[in-house]
Amino acid sequence: MWSPRPELAAALAAAERWLDGVGSRPVPAAEDIDALTARFAGPLPADGRDPAEVVRTLASAVEPGLLAIGSPRFFGWVMGGTLPAALAADWLVSAWDQNAGMRDATPGVVAVEDAAARWVLDALGLPSSAGVGFVTGATMANFTALAAARDALLAGMGWDQAALGLAGAPRIRVLAGTERHSSVDMALRYLGLGAPELVGVDDQGRMDAAGLRRALDAGDAPTIVCTQAGNVHSGAFDPFTEIVDAARAHAAWVHVDGAFGLWAAAVPGLTDLTHGMDGADSWATDAHKTLNTPYDSGIAIVADPGAMSRAFGHSAAYLLHSEVPDPHEKVPELSRRARGVPVWAALAALGRDGLTGLVQGLVDAAQMLARGLGGLPGVDVLNEVVYTQVVIAIVDDATTERVLELLLVEGLVRPSGSSWRGRSVIRFSVSNHDTDAEAVAQTVGAVAQALDATRRHLA
């Protein structure tokens, strides 16, 4: 195909080839990291090459090393698929090459991000006046929101962190459930807050509200309570109403890590999970998980937008300043791509009903998967499947690990392994809008086959 921009035509052809095959090819990469590294081992060439040839060479060299995350039978970690409108909008973001930090400099993309922010708050039932920052992922969203929390609590103690730093600052306590995500610890570490004090959880990993009350009563330092909407194993949600009530009595800041679970708030039938979550002070989520935008797309939300600008506002004579906070005053980056644009495109393509349908569809598929897997001999579904995660164990650790190994080698489906509550487990995270009844049936069939083969092997 002739094109005035042959490199874009080459990229489009490679993308279509990949997207057309992603649902039917084996899920794992065909080649491993050593083979791929060897392919790219050459020195920086002295002479440049034709851009279209560079793109064609790149695509054909990388394809054997691509993991089919977009497959409806991909269930690893918590990684979402991609909605078509979000993907195409993401390409435009690159083509436009806008630096989205200053609203008066790049008003087109900033206006879209402002609209995306409004829609996200509306869809999730969060305060319409909250500040919203577009970051790379939930790790950075946790960091961003917790930075706002830290500086607000210190300001409440008369300590200006921006001016004085942390050395000699009043102590801030951080409380979190024992099954918080590890990225929360990392965010706290970046922020100089150290490791959180741990609060016990129930058998699904939900924070014990009575334990939280006891922990709050036991100290008088300003406190951040890190809660979770969506446990990576069980998918469980912390009891927000009780937590927010307890935290209010101690003027503590409540943060919600809702990397994939925050989106449950868009589904009327799931309000039992998210009830009270809107009473928190800050929230972190990903669009690249449940909303199915391409990487990298995280969202930090803070009820008091002033707390965001206190943490991240800065200025320089050569920058533009608008009357309302600029996008760069809500996040740790000054320059960044307009990553809120694919969020807008995903929501525009779905509409409110489509968003509800997307999230409910993931939950329905997870519950169907749990029923199918739970019907196989020796398979225990260990979690209450209230959301998008299914955790199984099979007889004993050796059997579970062998079944996982066979599934990974066979390559039709891709769950991931873990250990939870003292057992080796196989985790299925249903995060792709394309996972339908057929993909679920194929997955149950693949596990049944791996189980038969394991039984024969162990017999």
**Is the CB of 146 or the CB of 450 nearer to ligand PLP?**
146
Give 178-237 as a DSSP string.
TT--HHHHHHHHHTT--SPEEE-B-TTS-B-HHHHHHHHHT--S-EEEEEEBS-TTT--B
Give the span between the Cα atoms of 459 and 451, in whole angstroms: 12
Q: From 283, 348, 328, select the one nearest 121 (Cα to Cα).
A: 283
**Is the CB of 134 or the CB of 260 nearer to ligand PLP?**
260
**Least CB distance to ligand PLP at residue 127 (A):** 22
**Least CB distance to ligand PLP at residue 285 (A):** 9
**Least CB distance to ligand PLP at residue 77 (A):** 6
**Is the CB of 183 or the CB of 443 nearer to ligand PLP?**
183
**Least CB distance to ligand PLP at residue 5 (A):** 32
User: Largest alpha-carbon pair distance within the chain?
Assistant: 75
**Is the CB of 78 or the CB of 121 nearer to ligand PLP?**
78
Q: Would you state the structure tokens that stand for residue 209, as one six-digit string?
A: 């509200």
**Is the CB of 257 or the CB of 326 nearer to ligand PLP?**
257
Q: From 458, 459, 447, 456, select the one nearest 406 (Cα to Cα).
A: 447
Binding site for ligand PLP (CB under 6 A): 77-78, 137-139, 181, 183, 230, 232, 257, 259-260, 286, 298
Q: Would you state the structure tokens that stand for residue 74, as one six-digit string?
A: 């991909």
Task: Compute the radius of gyration of the chain from its Cα atoms.
Answer: 23
Contact status, residue 257 vs residue 232, Cβ threshold 8 Å: no
Q: Would you state the structure tokens that stand for residue 334, as one six-digit string?
A: 């000054």
**Least CB distance to ligand PLP at residue 51 (A):** 31
**Is the CB of 96 or the CB of 190 nearer to ligand PLP?**
190
**Is the CB of 77 or the CB of 96 nearer to ligand PLP?**
77
Structure-derived torsion over alpha carbons of residues 93, 95, 96, 102, reported in degrees to the nearest 10 = 50
| Adjacent-strand bridge partners of 420 | 423
**Is the CB of 207 or the CB of 232 nearer to ligand PLP?**
232
Query: 165 in helix, strand or coil?
Result: coil
Q: Which residue is nearest to ligand PLP (CB)?
A: 137
Residue 439 CB partners (closer than 8 Å, separation 6+): 72, 73, 365
**Least CB distance to ligand PLP at residue 243 (A):** 16
**Least CB distance to ligand PLP at residue 229 (A):** 8
**Least CB distance to ligand PLP at residue 258 (A):** 7
Give the span between the Cα atoms of 26 and 68, in whole angstroms: 7
